[in-house]
Structure 1
């Protein structure tokens, strides 16, 4: 009976409308990404576990109007819409721009902020006068944003980033020719940098709150709440506290339903086609290039580390051990960040070179252990016999020990290479559009994760399976002598 009552109550909960669910639970769960930083939503350094930002204050004001409390739910910005659709939170409120593709997929409230797309270039690069001067050039922005859509239509090479500060670091270092971001972001992260200048504003957009389709009642309640907050002056007071108020924001106070219909009317739904397949193939080529390049670096470095630990002088063996422990004991993602951004002032690397070097240095630590195990698997008596015959240590290692050690290490090396193919997806954090990053961009564009995900998996399998077969063939051949 208790089970039946629980099932009935859960069914009833599932039939709740959006607004009824919010009022029943007593909270408005809003999804955002704290990585977006100031002034949107970020962790409060003065209150551990707390949040601050103009959207934090806006969420609290909206919840108060609805008679509930606001609860922040952390979510990666690029996947806010898919997470909203699967029910991870009630609304998405995090600088989410109104675009035709999103309007065809989710419900938007009336806008709460109007922004401009601001183009920045290096101060010493006077040739950049606008988007027309950037044809074929690398321009950084956030993936799946309004700026991303504009760049895709402008004939430039759009470079996707996951954070708001990294594009401006790359612009200073000359890795991109310009950066196009919302003016709120540009004012805080780009314009204070002395080496950068504002080229101009090239577009206008709106932030609005996203609601799941079918929850029109929640959208209407939020529209009413936004209108009340705007007309009372509280909305602009929030903007003023965060230094983002300007004359344009009076439009949010005077906003009408007719304007909402006009802004939200354009819709667009992308579809998987041959063009997307070509982009997937290009991204697979990048994945293969990075993986092969990293392994070509990792194998000889790993062999050198293994032999140094086993046969080198004490100080060199200790250094090799420290290297292995450092690179195995810290996340490869952190290593990529430090190599590409942290050392940008002293080591200027393009994204592909940094990806190959970062993964190569990391995997060398693992390869050294594979080869060390292979060398230790060879009976020590063979080395002693070779040296008793007058062979120098280097010659004995090259002619007697290493060929046998390679046979033992081969399965582990092949397994590491296959793992490296998949770990190459991490290099997207330094703006490399490899296979997994292409899949996520496409999935958001076409409103589906199933087909792009399946295509991505098939391509990884197509790259890794022949490697497995080749490794087994080499093992069999080595066994036959």
Structure 2
């Protein structure tokens, strides 16, 4: 009964810590006002560069450059404000969160100003409305000629978008399959996982133009332009900034520059598709490899240090040390790493403006520390009690015994488990791409969007991951053999 009460107390402490931490991170930091932006001399925007012709990346001499209609619009807005433009790339699903938490001044990315989104952020006037379409396989053109032909079928759409909601609401009996990336949806279409993919007409035209196996059909939706067009998103409470951007949008529309922006985007898309070999994009994969390796090495190093501290705290007889450690370990192990990364980048980022790479390393390190703590604790408890008694008989203090006797032997026993943790971090850290960290998975999605090739970039990244883990495994096995020999 006493153990049950102790367990319940630990659960209550853990839940309390989680709730308090959650409420502590809910304070939203609004984006800078117009005057602050001008004083700073920089306009920071968030976008998701995998949505041609709105925004995507072009490969110029081995380096990536953000281009597209939205990028040209953002450049004009920055020019009208008399400031420099700074672009932060991240997943589409993170754009509005970045605005709400003050990570950026505005978000632009073919964002539809729906009523639901207006509850969280403010929007500019609609700057472009290309309409809604479906992309289908050309082989199915005879079967699917209009929206009603898609009833009862599986329809693909990007998660969290207007296209996803429309497919749910306006196609009877349809099962909507949501994915984060448009290239993944196209791949699902070409492998017959879905019958059609809903997307904005300019994006559909871009894919159809660059893939002879695809065809576009009109959605037939009767929609309000003020909810379905593309607009710029801002944090609530910045009317001066919204007014300034609306002034630029009016100027752009009055001069008919949108058509020129789309034409310019088309030229860049043609550049990308002249040569879609993976060798042309080797620099993308190389940069992704470097960042993935950096995240893994630094995170495991800090994770081991944090793990030792947490393990010793958890094993302490003092509840003021053991309970916080127990709560931390349970919270981290009981929540997805993706949620932890978002919390560090957007939650902690509301207080401290952390770069995406730094936030990713911190989040993965904190996650790794919890798992390493249990590995180390297991290694310590597995040692024979005679080791502690022998150290004590030699006159060693408890601190010295832990440092010179217990931990060295524990590490020898847990080396394989630590090696597995290192390998896991290499693979699982790929989730940091959601906040725009240019790791291997991030670069994979960029190459797929630029080249319209679904399989080849995936194969390249799989090979890179395999080589990384294979070489690491062999190295760890060699060190383990040396330890056992010694």
Q: Which moved further from structure 2: 291-300 or 452-461?
A: 452-461
1:184 aligns with 2:288: no
Measured on the aligned residues, the alpha-carbon RMSD in Å equals 3.7
Query: Partner of 2:117 in structure 1?
Result: none
SS for the counterpart of 2:200 is coil
Cα shift at 1:317: 1.1
Cα shift at 1:415: 0.8
Query: Partner of 1:364 in structure 2?
Result: 369
Q: Deviations over 1:72-112 (max 9, x none)?
A: 44333422222222223332223353354542223223698
**5+ unaligned residues in a row in structure 2: which ranges?**
1-138, 222-227, 260-264
SS for the counterpart of 1:97 is helix
Query: Partner of 2:399 in structure 1?
Result: 394
SS for the counterpart of 1:437 is helix
SS for the counterpart of 1:372 is helix
**Of 424, 430, 434, the match for 1:429:** 434
The answer to whether the 8 Å contact 2:146/2:218 transfers is: no
**Of 465, 479, 485, the match for 1:480:** 485
For the structure 1 residues 289 and 33, does the alpha-carbon distance in structure 2 shift closer, same or farther, using more than 3 Å as the test? Answer: same
Q: How many residues align?
A: 324
Q: Measure the CA separation in 1 of the matches of 2:464 and 2:252.
A: 38
Query: Partner of 1:446 in structure 2?
Result: 451
Q: Deviations over 1:323-368 (max 9, x none)?
A: 1111001111001111111232213211111001000000100001
The answer to whether the 8 Å contact 2:340/2:363 transfers is: yes
**Of 183, 194, 215, the match for 1:89:** 194
The answer to whether the 8 Å contact 2:295/2:429 transfers is: yes
Q: Which moved further from structure 2: 102-111 or 265-274?
A: 265-274
TM-score, normalising length: structure 2: 0.59
Q: Measure the CA separation in 2 of the matches of 1:286 and 1:458.
A: 16
Cα shift at 1:461: 2.0
Q: Measure the CA separation in 2 of the matches of 1:312 and 1:469.
A: 39
Cα shift at 1:267: 7.8
**5+ unaligned residues in a row in structure 1: which ranges?**
1-13, 43-50, 114-181, 206-245, 252-262
Q: Which has the higher contact order (CA 8 A, sep 6+)?
A: 2
**Of 71, 74, 78, the match for 2:178:** 74
Query: Partner of 1:274 in structure 2?
Result: 279
Q: Measure the CA separation in 2 of the matches of 1:433 and 1:266.
A: 21
Q: Measure the CA separation in 1 of the matches of 2:201 and 2:412.
A: 54
Query: Partner of 1:33 in structure 2?
Result: 158
Larger radius of gyration: 1
Cα shift at 1:446: 2.5
TM-score, normalising length: structure 1: 0.59
Q: Measure the CA separation in 2 of the matches of 1:291 and 1:348.
A: 22
The answer to whether the 8 Å contact 2:356/2:435 transfers is: yes
Q: Measure the CA separation in 2 of the matches of 1:18 and 1:109.
A: 12
Q: Measure the CA separation in 2 of the matches of 1:353 and 1:202.
A: 38
Q: Deviations over 1:286-343 (max 9, x none)?
A: 1011111111110011011112222352220111111111100111100111111123
**Of 275, 289, 293, the match for 2:294:** 289
